[in-house]
Amino acid sequence: MDNPVIANFRWSADELLTAQRVHMRHSRLGRKIRRGIWTSAPLAIVFGVVTLLIRGFHPVGLFFVIMGTALLMSPLFARRVTLKHYARRPDRDMLVGWEFRRDHIITRTEASCATLEWRMISRVLQTAQGFLLYPNDQVFHWVPIHAFRAVADKEAFVELAKSRVQHFDHVA
């Protein structure tokens, strides 16, 4: 493959939120966190309400109701923290370019350029919104589907990634 596969997109708050949402939905840690929230939050609220009904206005019951509600609202808190983080990022609103070659990957912004060997990417996750390239379990690079100029470019990237990365996963 002499011609590189090119992908370009503007890094935005929406891109960051989408990438984080996809990562949390499909990562091992994200599934554990979600499972923990959706089991402990309702239990805490039920326990708190029962305590309040049995003992009347009691601080323990109130604490559990507030804690369960806060757990259920944690995705909103996470979104707010992510948007605050994005506002302080030096690469916000920059054009991000990816160049995927047979032997290496080049990524560029207006302020930086990096070259990676494919062996630095341990896993690629393909979703309907885009691709997560993982150097390890917690760090990822985001390449949205719309970054590719054509469907043929996206398919060429998929074939290249499958041939170069040990773990390539596709989820709906």
Q: Report domain extents, the chain.
A: 5-11+92-170, 24-88
Give the model confidence (pLDDT) of 41-67 as tens digits. Answer: 999 999 999 999 998 888 999 999 999
* Total residues belonging to the chain: 172
What's the average model confidence in pLDDT over 132-140?
93
Residue 157 has pLDDT above 50, yes or no: yes
Q: Are 121 and 157 in contact (CB under 8 A)?
A: no
Residue 1 has pLDDT above 50, yes or no: no
How far is the C-alpha of 41 from the C-alpha of 118, rounded, in Å?
A: 41
Tokens representing 151 are 């469907």
How far is the C-alpha of 67 from the C-alpha of 90, rounded, in Å?
A: 35
At 9 the pLDDT is: 97
Tokens representing 7 are 């992908």
In the structure, what pLDDT confidence band is assigned to residue 115 with cuts at 50, 70 and 90? very high
Residue 172 has pLDDT above 80, yes or no: no
Close Cβ partners of 142 (under 8 Å, ≥ 6 residues apart)? 15, 16, 18, 19, 130, 131, 132, 133
- Helices (H), strands (E): how many in the chain? 5, 8
Q: Tell the CATH topology of 5-11+92-170.
A: PH-domain like (2.30.29)
In the structure, what pLDDT confidence band is assigned to residue 23 with cuts at 50, 70 and 90? very high
Give the model confidence (pLDDT) of 74-109 as tens digits. Answer: 989 999 999 999 999 998 999 999 999 999 999 999
At 59 the pLDDT is: 92
